[in-house]
Chain A
Amino acid sequence: MLLSTLDVTADAFEAATGWSAKPEGMCKGDACVPVQSAVGPDGVIDVAAVADRLGMALLADDDAGVWAVGPESGGRALTTAVVPDIVLADVDGNPFNLSAMHGRKVLLVAWASW
């Protein structure tokens, strides 16, 4: 997840990482991790606190003025079997939400031209 500011709304954080702010803490699918005051009254996520608690790398590129947040770590690549909302574009830039496939089995295949 690339950030131009550390003032990120909970919704934007969830869209990029799959982790949502709930009363019980930060949750992804059926997995929840307690995080004290993860979200401020203005709806902004405390990125540094959440990243630290979930084992997400938080790196700054000072020259570019941006930050990057890595995925949660300390366990397996999957924290939950529930697939988060994944929105990707087709080759013409039209967005497609994977959740549109609900009701069908999906074989999701990663490939590349290289």
Chain B
Amino acid sequence: MWQALHEELEPLGLSVVTVALDLDPEKARPWIEAASPTHPSLIDSHHRVDELLGISNVPMAVWIDESGTLVRPAEGASIQPSPLAAMEITDEMPPRLQAVLREFKQMPQTGEAYRAAIVDWANLGADSRFVMSPDEVIAASQPRSAEHSRAAACFELGIHAESRGDHPAAIAWWKQAHALFPENWTYKRQAWTLESTADGAVSDKAQEVQDTYGTSWTDEFLATGGANYTVFPAL
């Protein structure tokens, strides 16, 4: 998907750069190799773009102009209609799945408009109506509290504990990070996906195996609501 957009817009002077927030780069490798990207495809195992650019879920993107200045802050980066939002809800589905799909239908469907905005920017550059001034970009970025800073430090200490093989210590740090910055889904989804059930089943993409953290993606998604799941672009 991103490779196709890159190929389309590269002649207009726009490059896609993808950054995988994966603690283990090998988890990202199959996806990268399947995409065969001709654009820079990078790994950010410490989630540095969270701190430096305000990323708080995936997929999210920022726009950077030719001089290295942000012209749009971190925002949800869907570029096509959500197939989940379009899915028909039937009585035969498990109730929790029905609830999740109802929340997907509550999400603003910004995919096609966001893609069109990127194409507009590629064509018009600074004259695109979607380009923000530096002050507008800063003001449109998300609030950053002392708790958020502390959450980032906790997340980092968790990564360090994990890297030295002390998984229980990592969990303790990550629980703190989650409590301090609940709106940051990258801290939660990254941690959840490392867990397994008591009988050894690994966490799946839906991140439903959550004995360790006492919560799950579905629990938190339903509590947050689809409309607050990411920073939807205001276009």
Contacts and interface: CB of A to CB of B under 8 A. Distances in A.
A100 to B, nearest CB: 8
Contact of B17 (A61, A63, A75, A108): A108
Nearest to B126: A105
B153 interface: yes
Contact of B43 (A71, A75, A89): A89
Contacts, number: 243
B48 interface: yes
A103 B64 CA distance: 10
Interface stretch (B22-30, B89-97, B219-227): B22-30
A64 B157 contact: yes
B42 interface: yes
Nearest to B191: A114
Given A2-B160, A68-B157, A105-B122, A110 B44 contact: yes
Nearest to B55: A110
Contacts of B42: 88-90, 96
B146 A73 contact: yes
A114 B40 contact: no
- Looking at B5, B44, B48, B186, which has the most chain A CB atoms within 10 Å of its CB? B48
Interface stretch (B98-106, B134-142, B208-216): B134-142
Contacts of B154: 59, 68
Contacts of B52: 18, 71, 83-84, 86
A55 B146 contact: yes
Contacts of B70: 78, 81-83
A52 B106 CA distance: 41
B149 A103 contact: no
Contacts of B159: 2
B187 to A, nearest CB: 12
A48 to B, nearest CB: 13
B65 interface: yes
Contacts of A89: 25, 42-43
A56 to B, nearest CB: 6
Interface in B136-180: 137-139, 141-146, 148-154, 156-157, 159-161, 164, 166, 169, 173
B41 A90 contact: yes
Given A71-B52, A81-B69, A110 B59 contact: yes
Contacts of A99: 68
B64 A101 contact: yes
A98 B39 CA distance: 12
Interface of B: 2, 5, 9, 13-22, 25, 27-32, 40-44, 46, 48-49, 51-55, 58-71, 73-74, 77, 118, 121-122, 125, 134-135, 137-139, 141-146, 148-154, 156-157, 159-161, 164, 166, 169, 173, 186, 189-190, 192-193, 205, 207
11 contacts: A59-B153, A74-B144, A76-B142, A78-B141, A83-B52, A102-B67, A105-B125, A107-B9, A107-B61, A112-B58, A114-B205
